[in-house]
Chains A and B, each alone.
Chain A
């Protein structure tokens, strides 16, 4: 974790992956600058998760090459694993263990000194201190996802993959996750996130790549992508509050959700 590289934190070249006749990735190329947030935007089945699984060494590409934090994913996967963490689409927390025990477990597996202190610190950062001694299975969807992301930060990996981090979350929980992601990037972590929500990419990403049918059909900053379309027309439209504005105004913003009721997460996220 000491190698400070100014080369791209993630580099993907001509990566392909097929399952029998199904060509999931047909030659994907992109770079992610260190310390930036990169959003991989695409509809379901576009190949986002497959790409994340290749980058996090869970899957091997058929051809092409990819490196993360300067390490090639196929020749030195162990070095890649030391540099990354993965938060999957379905929150991978251990429901039988408490939130704190989950964090201690990951800290021990990452061979950190003082796992207990790391766990307490992360619980506090993610507003989970009070819930820390409850089993994770009793958490709401948003709390589970916060715990999941907290687990990803144990040991301060320089590159974090967030695979659809807000799928299945309510609007408040989404905003909380967004704030966390922004803070992480501010602290210098490189983040690759996949999402099918356009507004999420718009809110968070320094650069956006659109993955469609297994290739990147366009990428750039939000401003660059906007320029692809004819310049803005001036139209007079009555500004209606969106339903999200109304919802957030009624339930009182996003800050007081730390004591969410203990709804079993399964009920909300399915």
Chain B
């Protein structure tokens, strides 16, 4: 049975991707909020924000916007899994001789692909609005790697409400705090402008290290320790979310 993990995951991922291709609005709506924030911060608020760097403001805040894109995209991951649970197709799969982890992996991989598509749209809009980077291929790969890890981690987080929620709102509502998290970080304003306890939280939460790493990579500046802290956060969150989600899944199907 385990011999089929890859082919079953491939088949089921193909199914979910087809869902997205038939309603591409989920990719676009995922990108709309971040793009609106991009416009708001660059053209309305940005002029009054002093980042203390020589960077243009869009270069400064794009990394935070990318994380917001992922945080809003994974709401659909939970939503799609929830619909499968409700519709009876989940039980049909469970009563079939297919590899059991494949059902979840298909949703996670679909989430990854859909979120990457949304990120490409947001970066495209940012380029039109004046985002510029001299990042090398290696810098881009490093940035993409961190974004992929972050998406995988949050996708496994999204699996939990997807499996357990009782209503659609419950399945997708968990993402709001995640969307909000970048606002209390270095994503939009430097953390040293915040009052003590807030600044402490901002400096020690995962978004700041990830944002600082991405910003450094795009600006071709040394990323120092930030990249290791960012990686530790992403991998740590990924492992914890994966273990917790699969535990919930096993409990659900046994």
Residue positions of A touching B, CB distance < 8 A = 56-58, 60, 78, 81-82, 84-86, 88-97, 101, 105-106, 108-111, 135, 151
Complex formed: what's the CA distance from A92 to B92 in Å?
Answer: 7
A105 & B11 in contact (Cβ 8 Å cutoff): yes
Could you say which of A58, A96, A105 contacts B95, with CB atoms under 8 Å apart?
Answer: A58
Complex formed: what's the CA distance from A93 to B93 in Å?
Answer: 11
Complex formed: what's the CA distance from A218 to B254 in Å?
Answer: 31
Of listed B8, B89, B94, B254, residue having the most chain A CB within 10 A: B89
For A88, the chain B residues whose CB sits under 8 A away are: 88, 91-92
Instruction: Flag whether B166 is at the interface (Cβ < 8 A).
Output: no
Complex formed: what's the CA distance from A93 to B90 in Å?
Answer: 10
Complex formed: what's the CA distance from A86 to B90 in Å?
Answer: 12
15 further A-B contacts with Cβ under 8 Å, apart from A58-B253, A86-B95, A96-B23, are A60-B254, A78-B1, A81-B97, A86-B92, A90-B88, A92-B89, A93-B89, A94-B89, A96-B22, A97-B15, A97-B18, A101-B18, A105-B15, A109-B8, A135-B22
A85-B95, A109-B11 as given contacts; A92 in contact with B18, CB under 8 Å? no
Can you show 22 pairs from A to B with CB atoms below 8 A apart? A56-B95, A58-B94, A58-B253, A81-B95, A81-B96, A84-B95, A88-B91, A88-B92, A91-B88, A93-B89, A96-B22, A101-B18, A105-B11, A106-B96, A109-B11, A109-B12, A109-B93, A109-B96, A110-B97, A111-B4, A111-B7, A151-B92
Residue positions of B touching A, CB distance < 8 A = 1, 4, 7-8, 11-12, 15, 18-19, 22-23, 87-89, 91-98, 253-254
The minimal Cβ–Cβ distance linking A95 to chain B, given in whole angstroms, is 8
Complex formed: what's the CA distance from A116 to B11 in Å?
Answer: 14
The minimal Cβ–Cβ distance linking B47 to chain A, given in whole angstroms, is 45
The minimal Cβ–Cβ distance linking B19 to chain A, given in whole angstroms, is 5
B18 & A96 in contact (Cβ 8 Å cutoff): yes
Q: Total number of A-B contacts with CB less than 8 angstroms?
A: 61
The minimal Cβ–Cβ distance linking B79 to chain A, given in whole angstroms, is 13
The 5 closest A-B pairs by CB, nearest first: A92-B88, A92-B92, A86-B95, A81-B97, A82-B97
* Chain B residue, CB-CB nearest to A52: B95
For B97, the chain A residues whose CB sits under 8 A away are: 78, 81-82, 110
The minimal Cβ–Cβ distance linking A50 to chain B, given in whole angstroms, is 13
A78-B1, A85-B96, A110-B96 as given contacts; A92 in contact with B91, CB under 8 Å? yes
For B254, the chain A residues whose CB sits under 8 A away are: 60
Complex formed: what's the CA distance from A73 to B139 in Å?
Answer: 53
For A151, the chain B residues whose CB sits under 8 A away are: 92
Complex formed: what's the CA distance from A89 to B15 in Å?
Answer: 23
Complex formed: what's the CA distance from A81 to B95 in Å?
Answer: 6
Complex formed: what's the CA distance from A151 to B7 in Å?
Answer: 19
Complex formed: what's the CA distance from A260 to B87 in Å?
Answer: 23
The minimal Cβ–Cβ distance linking B14 to chain A, given in whole angstroms, is 8
A58 & B91 in contact (Cβ 8 Å cutoff): yes
Could you say which of A90, A93, A96 contacts B19, with CB atoms under 8 Å apart?
Answer: A96
* Chain B residue, CB-CB nearest to A79: B97
The minimal Cβ–Cβ distance linking B229 to chain A, given in whole angstroms, is 41
For A57, the chain B residues whose CB sits under 8 A away are: 94-95
Complex formed: what's the CA distance from A92 to B95 in Å?
Answer: 12
Complex formed: what's the CA distance from A89 to B88 in Å?
Answer: 9
